Structure 1
Amino acid sequence: MERQWRSAGVGWAGGEPALRWEPGAGATGAGPVSPLSYGAAPGGGNAYGREIGFRVVGERRCVGVRGNACPYAAPVAGRATQAQCADCARLDRSRSVAADTMADDPRPYAVYLAWFGPGMVKVGITREDRGPARLLEQGAVAFSRLGRGPLMAARRCEELLRAGLGVPDRIPYAKKRAIRAALPGPAERAAEVEALHARAAGLAGWPEALEVVACEVADHAGVFGLDGLVAAGGVAGVVRELVAGGSVAGRVVAVAGPDLHLEVESAGASGAPGAVVVDSRLLAGWGLERGDTGDGVTVPVKWVEKGTETGVQEGLF
């Protein structure tokens, strides 16, 4: 009988993407991982091209909280990007930087500017010892740190920058996906980040406890494999949800944040070339079995036509 696995989404350990798997009943520590790239490419970035395939089995269930199983094994909606029931989600947020419930965290934090496309820049904070992991997880194509210091000073600076620069703290994934195959070059990306960094450093009201960090733009286009996405014809569709009995299979051409970009034999409502995006957060809570890499995608897909989502096909390409 084929072994069943449960995905924990995409991880970015060491700057290389991999599907993470739950460790299983009775196990401790992190679970196994399945690399999504072939490691570092000769010219820099990651080398993509792996063929992957899996089948969806059973019913989607709550993943629990921080390694602890949900006591109710509660069902979760297929289109939810957070695979938790309401009770587990509440418990998870009771000790969360995002929810401002960790004000006593003594570790240093970094304030950053993250660039996703022209005019699409956000400000955020991340624990300094995580390095660029948070930016990779969000799918930031370019970024620079702005400052470092205690958590609450970083949080106050984040609010100052949102108001002073007019930039948000969140950008919808749909907007990030829509622009990935049509980005300007690295010099233009860096210039926009540098200009905002200069404006930010000149704002009055910086918290005294926060050290200003010089602008140093890091670019993730090569790490994500965005040239491969362009070569594949851009994004043809986005998986809306997984369903029991459905298949997801294809050749990995790019990975950005939680998104897998798979090239398949024919994509799009009219069979036009392009990649299908799978948000790996939709995988969490499902049972998955190994599938044939030629099975294609047989779960609901929302198609993209000339940059506009135009319809839904509820089945095979």
Structure 2
Amino acid sequence: MSGPGPSPVPGPLSVAPATVVDMAGVWRSGGVRWGEDGPGLVWVGERGERRVSRIGFGGDVGFRVVGERRCVGARGNACPGDVVVARGSAQARCGECARLDRVHSVAADGVPDDPRVYRVYLAWFGPGQVKVGITAEEREGARLREQGAVCFSWLGRGPLMAARRCEELLRAALGVPDRVSYEQKRLVRATLPGPGERADEIRDMHARAVRLGGWPESLEAVACRVVDHGRLFGLDGLVPAHGVVRELVPDGAVGGRVLAAAGPDLHLEAEGRVVVLDTRLMSGWGLAAAPAGGGITVPVRALRPPDVQDQLF
């Protein structure tokens, strides 16, 4: 596989136009890593070695599924039982490892005494799809790229529990949710308004938020500055998706041309159709290189509103 630059980056995928670099052996996905300059897929080899494959829009991807899907463990530790887990789940963890991971999760308030500075953000995913959330300040905008936020602005900064109270205030007073489903995000990515219109919606919500009474005293308001990810994600001129990979299966293959990437999602063109691959479905599987032109032979479902799910092909 090769990415931007003069030399190929090894791994089980091909991500360069008209290039397929075969990598011997079986690898496991470590998920998408988003940098400020774009996405890459993390791979873990049979001996624990880690490599990153840069994802280039217009480039090819191709991999084949090997063996069974097994638990990825928790907090950097291997699953002691090497448990086989469900194929279609976004999280490849057994019940015990999921519990251990949750214990130390900021999202679950598992570490209320966390000394780090946190930021409250407003993220926009489509018209009427603004959410509020928090992230550690040291992570900068990585969390927003990981979620597939088309644009965002910071709202406040301070201790963890103050940031959490601000999040709850916006939910109660303004009806701003703390999550938007991936199905909702996928439905609108190819029909988004321009950067100016989406920035206006963020600015309006920011202004309404800072006017609210009841802000925690230890939380400092941050001026609105909209960061837009449309170009970084490759959303300009994006073709609407026909479907979404439902699950990976043993000996199944995924191959196609990368049109865009947002959060964990890759938009792939394969055999005249556009399919979204949630790369979280790749975790826990053994993966080997396959021709990018081999198409998609794993189950794919129709892309529909969240309450309407059916089989597509």
Question: Would you call these one fold, judging by a TM-score over 0.5?
Answer: yes
Q: Which position in structure 2 is the counterpart of 1:44? A: none
Decide which of 245, 251, 255 is 1:249's aligned counterpart.
255
Partner residue in 2 for 1:260: 266
Q: 1:107 to 1:58 in 2, by over 3 A?
A: same
**1:122-167 residue CA offsets vs partner (Å, 9 max, x unmatched):** 0000001111100000000010000001111111111111111101
Q: Which moved more, 1:63-72 or 1:300-309?
A: 300-309
* 1:226-237 paired onto structure 2 within 5 Å: 226-229=235-238, 233-237=239-243
- Residue 201 of structure 1 is matched in structure 2 by 210
Task: Point out the more displaced range, 50-59 or 301-310.
Answer: 301-310
Structure 1 residues 303-312 or 219-228, which shifts more?
A: 303-312
SS at match of 2:294: coil
Displacement of 1:96: 1.0
Q: 2: distance between equivalents of 1:150 and 1:306?
A: 37
Residues 72 and 310 of structure 1: is their aligned pair in 2 closer, same or farther, counting only changes over 3 Å?
A: closer
Alpha-carbon offset, residue 103 of structure 1: 1.1
Q: Which amino acid is the alignment partner of residue 176 of structure 1?
A: K
Matched residues in 1 for 2:282 and 2:191: separation? 27
Q: Distance in 2 between matches of 1:143 and 1:13?
A: 16
Q: CA deviation at 1:67?
A: 2.0
Equivalent position of 1:32 in the other structure: 51
SS of residue paired to 1:71: coil
Matching residue of 1:156: 165
Percent identity (aligned): 61
Structure 2 CA distance for aligned equivalents of residues 184 and 35 of structure 1? 28
Amino acid aligned to 1:225: G
Equivalences for 1:3-42 in 2 at 5 Å?
3-22=25-44, 24-25=46-47, 31-37=50-56
Which of 119, 127, 145 pairs up with 1:136? 145
Unaligned runs of 5+ in 2: 1-22
Q: Partners of 2:247 and 2:66 in 1: how far apart?
A: 13
Deviation at 1:209, TM superposition (A): 0.5
Matched, 1:126 2:132: no
Amino acid of the structure 2 residue aligned with 1:215: C
Structure 2 residue 312 is the aligned partner of structure 1 residue 293: no
Structure 1 residue runs of 4 or more that deviate by more than 6 Å after TM superposition:
305-310
Superposition deviation, residue 310 in structure 1 = 7.4
Q: 1:303 aligned to 2:302? A: yes
Q: 2:114 maps to what in 1?
A: 105
Contact 2:190 2:237 in 1 (8 A): no
Deviations 1:266-310 (A, max 9, x none): 22xxxxxxx210000000000000000100000000134899977
How far, CA to CA, are the matches of 1:306 and 1:109 in structure 2?
Answer: 33
- Identify which range, 137-146 or 295-304, moves more after superposition: 295-304
Shift in Å, 1:313: 4.4
CA distance 1:246–1:196, shift in 2 (3 Å): same
- Does 1:2 pair with 2:8? no
Structure 2 counterpart of 1:271: none
Report the CA distance between 1:2 and its aligned residue: 3.4
What is the TM-score normalised by the length of structure 1?
Answer: 0.88
Structural RMSD (CA)? 1.9
Q: Cα–Cα, structure 1 residues 165 and 308, in superposed 2: closer, same or farther, change >3 Å?
A: closer
Does structure 1 residue 85 correspond to structure 2 residue 84? no
- Match for 1:125: what amino acid? I
For 1:181-200, what aligned pairs fall within 5 Å after superposition? 181-200=190-209
Q: Tell me the SS of whatever aligns to 1:235.
A: coil
- 1:164, 1:76 → 2: CA distance? 40
